[in-house]
Amino acid sequence: MECLTAKSKLQETYFEVTELSKPKNTKAMKQELINSFLDKVLEFQKHIQEKTDRINFINSKFKEFTWLDNLDEECIGILKNIISLSDGLHHKMIRYYVSLNWALKKGIANESMKNFKIALDDLKEYNQDLEDLFFNLPSDKEFTDKVNELSHIKSIDNE
């Protein structure tokens, strides 16, 4: 009885191995693996593109902020908090980008990764611009004197 059970298990396994070893199945398995990999690459690209789009949206807001003037103390405080949060976001996203360096080395999602890095660089630049415009330059006496001088010349020209 044991021999029959063993024989049936052996035969079943023989047929399974035979079926899997057919060239047709090997090709199908390779294609399935490739398709799965490509799906993951596309998913990865989409994920990076979504992050890039969100950062670019923030960058567009920051660009608008550079044209603001005559802000009261409350607005200046809010702006200071935004810059601080954004600076933290930039550091976090740069670490994330560096952790994905393997993808660049493998040539995976190069365009998406490049766009992500550009958006991060822009974020850093806008942070610095806002900090300079609203905090560093107004406290620079030489700068404010020149701005006042230029404003005075402009008002004379308009008369």
Task: Note whether residue 25 is domain-resident.
Answer: no
Determine the Cα–Cα distance for residues 76 and 20; give it in Å rounded to an integer: 69
More confident residue, 24 or 63: 63
More confident residue, 46 or 156: 46
Determine the Cα–Cα distance for residues 90 and 149; give it in Å rounded to an integer: 36
Shortest CA distance to 44 belongs to which of 106, 108, 95?
108
Task: Note whether residue 11 is domain-resident.
Answer: no
pLDDT for the residue numbered 131: 93
Tokens of 67: 């044209």
Task: Note whether residue 16 is domain-resident.
Answer: no
- Burial (CB < 10 A; 0-12, 13-18, 19+), residue 158, is exposed
pLDDT for the residue numbered 69: 84
Task: Note whether residue 117 is domain-resident.
Answer: yes
Q: Which of 11-15, 90-94, 118-122 has the lowest mean pLDDT?
A: 11-15
pLDDT for the residue numbered 81: 97
Q: Which of 12-16, 74-78, 142-146 has the lowest mean pLDDT?
A: 142-146
Q: Is 98 helix (H, G, I), strand (E, B) or coil?
A: helix
Q: Are 130 and 66 in contact (CB under 8 A)?
A: yes
Q: How many domains does the chain have?
A: 1
Task: Note whether residue 121 is domain-resident.
Answer: yes
Question: What are the CA-CA distances from residue 31 to residues 37, 78, 105, 149 (Å)?
Answer: 10, 54, 24, 71
Q: What is the pTM of this model?
A: 0.72
Q: Are 131 and 83 in contact (CB under 8 A)?
A: yes
Task: Note whether residue 23 is domain-resident.
Answer: no
Task: Note whether residue 36 is domain-resident.
Answer: no
Residue range(s) defining the domain that contains residue 123: 43-158
Determine the Cα–Cα distance for residues 59 and 108; give it in Å rounded to an integer: 26
- Checking if the pLDDT of 18 tops 80, the result is no
Task: Note whether residue 9 is domain-resident.
Answer: no
Residues contacting residue 131 through CB under 8 Å, at least 6 positions apart: 83
Q: Are 59 and 126 in contact (CB under 8 A)?
A: yes
Counting Cα atoms < 13 Å in the Cβ hemisphere of 45 gives 12
